[in-house]
Copies of this chain bind each other. A is one copy, B any other.
């Protein structure tokens, strides 16, 4: 299927506006890189000062070319860019990359120039990347529209290529994007495209991601982002990637600092700057990595292996200590390293010396390499149903010796039964990399990263994109009318929740002593009494709560005490009355919250309640709304999940009812995204299966 950016990445002709003869400077480097990479189409240098550059005819302006131009690469002073773009548009140039700096990153007038570029793109339909971009590289048509030294072609050096599958790189930092490329080449990973997105006046990371998702030349995507600007396009691309099952390895930086949000609820205050990003990544099955080497390792394993069918790993080694380390690396990721069956052990031991071991880790020993035990083990394990992946741990530093023969290794790897990952504890030699590349092997040099990569592959293989949100629909009434103050009292908050169809215990708001008798009759003993005021979101701390009240006398005493406490603590608070209701049955304490993220909108959070929530930050976020099955996945993501599943002999909790409430609240937050900033129900008590949940307290905060 053609994509609007096809001609951007595979132009027939390129005009270089601001071409120069000086190879030491960026404009000159751009032309040199384009030509060194042997772009097969037409190149038109444009510079009014020259007639030719390095043997190419040079034009005064783009209008002088008189031929169709698919891509203009612009590297002229910022103040001249807009006019040049207009000339491009006038002659029908399809795409432009602006390398020049001096726009939004400088603020003021310069930022205004960038706005004009954006308008020009909208007006003319020309697609524009940058400004302040490092450009892009595309291997399919050998387009090096960048000055990055990473695309330089070194004479006499044969590129190392170990993988058939290709990675596509989208980066909001040119330095990092081309560092990915630099490291990918060193590992032997084939790369389809690298694009640095610069200031994103028109084309943003989301749209580039979408191109890579749809591009049949790209198998795995690496994404480096600071902050998404084209959110809508990003989400469309993410959904497509999830449906097509094309892996996206994402690094999001800017996770530290500035994470504090002024908010009334725990939900919002615990959400760091990147919680919403991580929630979105989780929804679409993105593979998150915050380390460059780790991300490259995951990409390497994905491009050189099938996905695993399970989480059982065989560790195969030539050194006992290294094998134990390999087993640790897998186990610490929660992968299984099962002891092999007697049959397989016997088969393997036939080729090993007596001091070898075939239990798993399988230590074939140095001697076992010579006797064919290493290759034979891979053959056996590759087709065995006892393990789902093989981690080979050995030393590949030799410049002359190889523990494998291509004729033995290549066919078994090509059969693609399961991932076979090769890690060298010594630094792998260039010789070893090139020899093993012939069999499709990328040699890894970081063991923890190799373990992490296997874990991520297992998780990715298990990931299923969530269907449309079939949460229970909300009643068709004006819910916004329930938002009576900026911070709603518990009673008001619960009124909104009830109106939204969420089930709550019956409670009565008592406004004078005369109402207490009826309240007692309704609630029964033991009961709870809580002061109600939109000015007091934290009632306990103001002495506004009494629980477990068992007699009528106590009720009346408590009523007076609550009012007097709160009048003392907060003399100016507007008091609505005292909420009287039955004591909730026991249950697992859960917190559910929603908030509005500046980038991605409504988010829903669930966590274990009580002190644990804040102390261990054991919470999971998702974009709202979620349906009940997504809510179940959220609950599974909690470290405290075992508490819901019958921990230490306790009965299983009613997670179905809990998931339902999470879905309902998420839908409410999504529906009221323009009116409501936060909803928090804390605690929700989850009763044993079939017993449902009790929302003990609720807090709703309107948007400012």
Contact = CB atoms under 8 A, between A and B. Distances in A.
Interface in A191-234: 224, 226
A499 interface: no
B262 A320 contact: yes
A536 to B, nearest CB: 15
Interface string A245-268: 000000101111111011101110
Nearest to A105: B355
Given A355-B106, A357-B266, A255 B332 contact: yes
Interface stretch (A13-21, A136-144, A639-647): A639-647
Interface stretch (A172-180, A553-561, A694-702): A172-180
Contacts of A322: 173, 175-176, 179
A262 B324 contact: yes
A426 interface: yes
A291 B258 CA distance: 27
A521 interface: no
Interface string A615-659: 110100000000000000000000110110001110000000000
A516 B149 CA distance: 87
Contact of A446 (B293, B320, B327): B293
Nearest to A400: B149
Contacts of A325: 176, 251, 253, 259, 292
Contact of A257 (B253, B337, B397): B337
B271 A324 contact: yes
A186 to B, nearest CB: 5
A647 B172 CA distance: 40
A445 interface: yes
Contact of A327 (B259, B291, B354, B426): B259
B294 A448 contact: yes
Contacts of A106: 354-355
Given A319-B175, A615-B639, A447 B105 contact: no
Interface stretch (A358-366, A527-535, A574-582): A358-366
B319 A174 contact: yes
A407 interface: no
Contact of A639 (B271, B359, B616, B643): B616
A325 B252 CA distance: 9
Given A226-B321, A425-B292, A447-B292, A337 B258 contact: yes
Contacts of A512: none
Given A425-B292, A427-B182, A262 B359 contact: yes
Contacts of A323: 262, 266
A319 B182 contact: no
A150 B426 contact: yes
Interface string A94-106: 0000000110011
B259 A397 contact: no
A163 to B, nearest CB: 18
A328 interface: yes
Nearest to A445: B293
A124 interface: no
Contact of A254 (B149, B255, B328, B445): B328
A459 interface: no
Nearest to A616: B616
Interface of A: 101-102, 105-106, 149-150, 171-176, 178-179, 182-183, 186, 224, 226, 251, 253-259, 261-263, 265-267, 271, 290-294, 315, 318-325, 327-328, 330-332, 337-339, 354-355, 357, 359-361, 363, 395, 397-398, 425-427, 445-448, 541, 611-612, 614-616, 618, 639-640, 642-643, 647-649
Given A179-B425, A263-B324, 10 more contacts: A172-B321, A176-B425, A179-B426, A182-B426, A253-B325, A254-B324, A258-B315, A262-B363, A291-B447, A292-B446
Kindly list the 9 A-B residue pairs having the minimum CB-CB distance in the complex, ordered from nearest: A173-B321, A256-B331, A175-B319, A258-B337, A266-B320, A258-B327, A179-B425, A291-B448, A259-B324
